[in-house]
Structure formats: C-alpha cells, structure tokens
Chains A and B, each alone.
Chain A
Amino acid sequence: MNPRKLFALTRAGIMESLHYRLGTFVTLFANLIYLVLVYYLWKAIYASSGVDVVNGMTFTDTMIYLILATSLFNFLEMFVVWDMSRSIQSGKIILDLLKPMKFRAYTFWSYSGSHVVSFIMTFIPTFIVVMIITKGAIPIGMNLVYFIIATLFALIVNFNIEMIVATICLYTESTWGINIVKETIVLLLSGASIPLAFFPEKLRAVVDYMPFRAVYDIPLTILLQKNGSDTLQGLLPMFGFQLLWIVILTAAGTLFWNYSVKKITVNGG
C-alpha cells in the first residue's frame, strides 16, 4: 500500500487531536492526580506489610508500573467500538466502506495520529514526572528502545482486540455492554488494575497465555527490566509472544470482519 496515503491519514489524525488540546491537558492533569492517589495508596499498603519487596516488586516498581499502565491506557485507548456503532447508526460507515482502502487498515491509520499526539502530550510528560518523583528509578538504556517496540506491538494487539469487539457489536446492538465487558477483562487480565506479579500462581498460569498480557504487562515489564527482560534470552520470548498474538488476532479479526461486513444493515444514511 502507498505509504503516502497512510501518512496523510496520520496527519489528519494529528491535526484533529490537536484541535482538542484541552482534552489532552485534562488527561495529563488527571494522570497527575491519579499518580498522587496511587502513590499514597501503595505507600500505605507497603508500609503496612512491613517488607520492602513483595513478589519481586518494590513500592517504587509497583508505583511506576501502575501509573505508566494508566498512562498507557490513555494512550492506547481507541474509541473504535463507539465510533463504529455511531457510524452504523448514522449510516456514515457506508462512506468508509466505499473508500479505496481496506476498512480495517483505514481505521487503524486514522487513529494513528491521535496516538502520536497522546504519546507526546500525555505519556512523555507523565513519564518525566514519574522519573522526577522516583528520583530516576526507571533504568535508562536499551530497555527504552525495547519498550517502544513492545508498545508498538501492544498497540497492534489492542487494535485487533478493539476491532473484534466492534465487529461483535454489529450483531448485538449493544455498545455500552460489550465495551464495558471488554474494558473490564482487558484491564484486569493485562495487569493494569493490579500488577500481574501479584496474581496467585494458578490464575497467573492461565493469564500468561492470554493476549491481554501483551498489551500492558509486557511493555512495562520490559521497561522495569523485570523477569529477565534485560537479557536477550528473556526479551525474545516476550516479543515472540506479542508477535504470535498479533498474527493470530489479525487473522481472526480479518476473517471475522470480512464475514460480518456482508451482514451489516444500515438504516438510512
């Protein structure tokens, strides 16, 4: 596919998000308040436990993990499900389907611009604040590069999950319900609400095979250099896991979408 076409979509997305700057600032501000909440809560939790390291996580590790998970959540958040249901209701989806481009690719690239903006305007400032508060507890080195690669993979996995859920919505006429089920499952099983390191072993064994881990836990584990991700032997299986799920979910999502799109009924539009 012609890369110029794709970058045009990215540019349009960037311009659109910059138009809603206020939203970005509010998100950043909220991240900071959230940071305070997480800080006090986990400080109290660790203070009560009387030990410094629980399941291989120190207070600082946990805090960095949870705050950056929230920040990643804002960054990865796509409103594919909502947008799709709205464009089905209004009939706009017909115009998108008629575009000389695969619908899935079109959706992905139209969102890419807002990802770029939110990464620069909310993730990086939050990252810097976390660095200042923890007095540089995040190791700086090659792990940053690996983290960015892992985040890109996470983005694709997340997009695929979103697209599959949005496709389910074509059948159910329910947006809020399906979306909240997805969000809850992803947030819990990806480690965004509580680090996966704290999960009981049996649950952990199941969660480890699910794609959700690829979204938050793997990038953050790599960033914090946990679980042997500072060596190539530790790193490669994680990337492999992400890639495997990208392949599976992309294949499944494409098949599901191509099958379902024939069934869309649009009233009016």
Chain B
Amino acid sequence: MEKKKRGLRFYADIYRKILVQDLKTKMSYRADFIISTIGMIMVNLSGFVTFLILFRNFPTINGWDYYHMLFLYGFSLVALTPVQCFFDNNWNLRFHVTSGDFIKYCFRPVNVFFYFMSEVFDVKGLGQLAFGIGTLIYAWVHIGIPVTPLVIAKLIVFLLTASLFMIALMNAAAATCFWIRNSGYVMVIMFRFKDFAKYPSSIFSGVFSFLFTFIIPIAFVAYYPSLVILEPDNVPLLSWLSPLLGVLFFWLSYKFWMLGVRKYDFTGS
C-alpha cells in the first residue's frame, strides 16, 4: 500500500473542516448551547465560592497566601481548557465502543486518534478559559510579578505543559473502555482528581507524593509548572523537567489509547 506523507497542514485543514460541521450542529440546538454555557459558568462560580469560603476560614495553606493560591487556581483553570475544548470526545468513546459505532473511525485514511478527537470541539471550555485568565491576571497584579516578554513566553510554555498532563490523564482514563465495560466511572474519578490540582502538592508526603507526581500526575497540572513563574529564584528541577515529562505522558497515553484501538480491531465487534 502506498502511503503518502502528510504534514501538519493536511491535518490542520481537516480539523478546520470537521470543526465547522461540529459547530453548525451545535448551533442548531441553541437552547442546549445556552444552558450548557450557563452550566459551565455555574461550575466555575461554585469552584470560586468554595475557594473564597475556604480562605475566609483559613488565611494560608501550607505557606501559600490568598493571591498565590488564586494564581495557582487560575493557572489550573487555563491549563484545563485544552482538555475541555479539544479532547471532550473522550467522554463519548465508551458509547461508540460498546455500540460498535467506533469502527467507522478505523476506516478513514487518517490517524484514528486525531479523527476521533477532531469530531468534537467544546465551546463551553472557552468560558472556563476566560475565568482562568481573569483570575490569573488578578492574582498576577496583586503578587506583583514583573511583566516581561520572557515571563510571558515562560507562562505560555508551562501552561501548555500543564495541559498535556491533564490530556494524558483523560486519554488514559477514556481508553480503559476498550478493556472494561462501564468505564464511565474511571473518567468521572480522574476528572474529579483535577479539583486537587489547584492546591500546592507540597502538602503530600511519602508514597502519596510519588503517586500524585508520577502515577496520577496531578502535581503537574498546576503546581510544578506554575512555580517557574511564581518563584523564579527557587525553581525545583521537576518544574524544568515538566515540559519533557508532559510530552512523555501524552505520548504514553496516546500509545495506550491506540493499543485499545488495535485490540478493538481484533475483537471484530
């Protein structure tokens, strides 16, 4: 079989086409779109209220004051946007697999993972992004971090890094449906762990510190990457390594996902 080499442009072009179709479908259910957006705003507001109530009772957490915690919170919200916007179809994977619909993705001459993810773009994630950026800027100003091109560049790189970890987690959680039925639980649980990403992971110790850093890497969803900005004089090695680790985790989750796809082919359902 002849295989043509396809560049980034080919995939970007396809993504754009599928995206437009998806948005058209979404717009035809206008009420649903509006209510879902309100829902997303409510989720963020409630997270914020919880945060405020917590700080009303406890002024510092493990040496982190209000604004530093707020920075971490905003950072985690922004870092969670890509997984919400671009990888939301993971939530539907298990339905496609159990119903047998998934086979359609295997017959297209593009990468299965890419094609599957490109099918859904979740607009609601943008509300979260706005919330996150607002929080981040507010905290930024109050802490008084200098604004230089270098800091901004670092911020972008490490935000992207942080988002890779969450994407990896959700990919891996979704892919479990190739092996177990009712894998919705696994996804719900992984998604709930993200709520702990907004706390400094220095609170963990011993085995659990290791577990939440290298096995379920929630420490990387905000804590380690954000230290690069928050404490530029005292950046731990793990923070510098996080971009590499992020790519590694993403690659591993992708391989795991594809392994599931191959297994699915073999069962021939």
Contacts and interface: CB of A to CB of B under 8 A. Distances in A.
Interface of A: 20, 22-23, 26-27, 30, 33-34, 36-37, 40-41, 43-49, 54-55, 172-174, 176-181, 184-185, 187-188, 193-194, 198-200, 203
Interface in B82-98: none
Given A40-B208, A180-B42, A48 B32 contact: no
Contact of A47 (B36, B46, B62, B181): B62
Please list the 8 inter-chain residue pairs (A to B) with the smallest Cβ-Cβ separation, ordered nearest first.
A177-B35, A177-B36, A174-B32, A44-B203, A180-B39, A30-B189, A174-B35, A177-B39
Contacts of A174: 29, 31-32, 35-36
B63 interface: yes
Contacts of A43: 203
Given A27-B185, A37-B196, A40-B208, A172 B42 contact: no
Contacts of B212: 37
B267 interface: no
23 contacts: A34-B192, A40-B203, A40-B204, A40-B205, A40-B208, A41-B203, A44-B61, A45-B54, A45-B61, A48-B63, A49-B58, A49-B59, A54-B57, A55-B57, A176-B39, A177-B32, A177-B38, A180-B42, A181-B39, A185-B46, A187-B46, A193-B50, A194-B50
Interface string B32-62: 1011111110110010011001101111111
A20 B181 CA distance: 8
A176 B36 contact: yes
Contacts of B42: 180-181, 184-185
**Residue of A26, A34, A48, A177 with most partner-chain B CB within 10 A:** A177
B193 A188 contact: no
Interface string B136-162: 000000000000000000000000000
Interface of B: 29, 31-32, 34-40, 42-43, 46, 49-50, 53-54, 56-63, 180-182, 184-186, 189, 192-193, 196, 199, 203-205, 208, 212, 216
